[in-house]
Amino acid sequence: MKPIGKHSLLGASGEISDFQEILRYLDELILYDNMWDDGNSLGPKEVHNYLTRVMYNRRNKFNPLWNSLVLGGVKNGQKYLGTVSMIGVNFEDNHVATGFGNHLARPILRQEWHENLSFENGVRLLEKCMRVLLYRDRSAVNKLQIAKITEDGVTISQPYSLKTYWEFSAFENPAQGAIGSW
């Protein structure tokens, strides 16, 4: 995760070197925006649109950046959350996810998220989603960071370990009773 300008935060999954390239593009964009010195700054919607164009452009050159991006922010009281895939497919919603999160976490978010969710309950909901994803891919690391975006800026927590429970009987022999299973 990386703060972008005054109003946005960018998260990415995928290739780290491609994410670093995207950050270089964004550093140039923010520098150019700041050079105008007009008191205005790019908001999350503008940065998201820029990222959409960058990802789509690289796709069309048959040299895609292998990342899925999530951009959130707040500017002038307006909350924004959007995602961009490696080929430029994008959307904005009240909750987004990448990878398996689109299939496993989004249904949980659709069912349990609501507009008046407190920060603490939101963190618990995200931890629930991440726990489901971790159980799906048990070779993944159980550390995560939580970010909070407000008009005052971005705060990113220190990495912490998610509490898990691996003693479920289904985890001991998942192929038991599965005919034709590997």
User: Based on the domain organization, do 112 and 145 belong to the same domain?
Assistant: yes
Residues 124-145: pLDDT tens digits? 999 999 999 998 887 888 899 9
| 177 within a domain of the structure (yes/no) | no
Q: Where does residue 21 fall: left (phi above 0), alpha (psi -120 to 50 degrees), or beta otherwise?
A: alpha
Do residues 84 and 69 make contact, with C-beta atoms less than 8 angstroms apart? yes
* CATH code of the domain containing 45: 3.60.20.10
The domain of 67 spans 1-93
Total domain count, the chain: 2
Clarify whether residues 8 and 77 are in a common domain: yes
* 132 neighbors 140 (Cβ within 8 angstroms): no
Residue 72 within a domain: yes
Q: State pTM to two decimals.
A: 0.88
Chain segment 12-67, per-residue pLDDT in tens? 999 999 999 999 999 999 999 999 999 889 999 999 999 999 999 999 999 999 99
